[in-house]
Amino acid sequence: MFKEILSYLKKQNRLTKLITLGFVLIFFAAYSLIGIVYKNYTVNKQIRSIDDEIKRLEEDNLEKQSEILYYNTDAYTEKLLREKLGYQKEGERIYALPRQDPEREKLIREQQKYQEKEDGKPNIIKWYEFFFKKDNQVSKNNGEQKPSSNNAEPVITNKP
pLDDT digits (tens, 9 = 90+) for 23-57: 999 999 999 999 999 999 999 999 999 999 999 99
Kindly tell me if the per-residue pLDDT of 125 is higher than 70.
yes
Residue of 159, 152, 158, 160 lying closest to 117 (CA atoms):
152
- CB distance 114 to 152 below 8 Å: yes
Residues 6+ apart with CB under 8 A from 115: 155, 157
Spatial distance between the Cα atoms of 2 and 8, rounded to a whole number of angstroms: 10
What pLDDT, on the 0 to 100 scale, is given for residue 95? 76
φ, ψ of residue 145 to 5 degrees: the values are: -90, 135
- pLDDT tier at 148 (50, 70, 90 boundaries)? very low
The three-state secondary structure class of 146 is strand
pTM of structure: 0.40
Spatial distance between the Cα atoms of 152 and 110, rounded to a whole number of angstroms: 10
Structural Rg of the chain based on CA atoms: 41
What pLDDT, on the 0 to 100 scale, is given for residue 146? 46
- CB distance 115 to 123 below 8 Å: no
Q: At what angle do helices 14-71 and 74-85 cross, to 10 degrees?
A: 70
Nearest-10 Cα torsion for 20, 22, 24, 25 = 160
- pLDDT tier at 82 (50, 70, 90 boundaries)? confident
Average pLDDT in the chain: 80
Spatial distance between the Cα atoms of 153 and 151, rounded to a whole number of angstroms: 6
Query: In the beta sheet, which residues pair with residue 146?
Result: 137
What pLDDT, on the 0 to 100 scale, is given for residue 138? 41
Residue of 137, 133, 136, 109 lying closest to 121 (CA atoms):
133
